[in-house]
Amino acid sequence: MDTPISEAEAFGLLQSRRAAFAAAATPFLVGVDIDAPTGAAAAGSLLDMTVAAYEGRPAPEASARGFPRAAYIRFGDNLVPLLKDVLGALLPAAFLARCVDSYWRSATRAMAPQ
């Protein structure tokens, strides 16, 4: 029987699989007024923002401003399935909830008018 990993292990796995996560997220972003290279950059920036917010760093949204609103929404809507696809299905619920909360708190600020 497979056992879930800890939240710390899941976060470490996300850190080590950042490139794979960004690559998996890119197709969800391409086509919302974003081409493939910009989609890849957006996926990386949105993941970096999520990780920074997860770690409690100040102003994580500063590095992820300027993307079309639809890109933020698509990334957020697909965050949990992407995490499960890239990191595995046995992720702790607390880890998933913290990632989602970290993402949407930062994305809301990133989408706000400057």
Per-domain residue ranges for the chain? 7-111
Q: In angstroms, rounded to a whole number, what is the distance separating the alpha carbons of residues 15 and 83?
A: 12
Dihedral through CA 19, CA 53, CA 100, CA 24, nearest 10? -10
pLDDT number for residue 17: 96
Residue 4 in this model has a pLDDT that exceeds 80: no
DSSP label of 2: -
Q: Per-residue pLDDT tens for 22-80?
A: 999 999 999 878 899 999 999 999 999 999 999 998 888 888 898 999 999 999 999 99
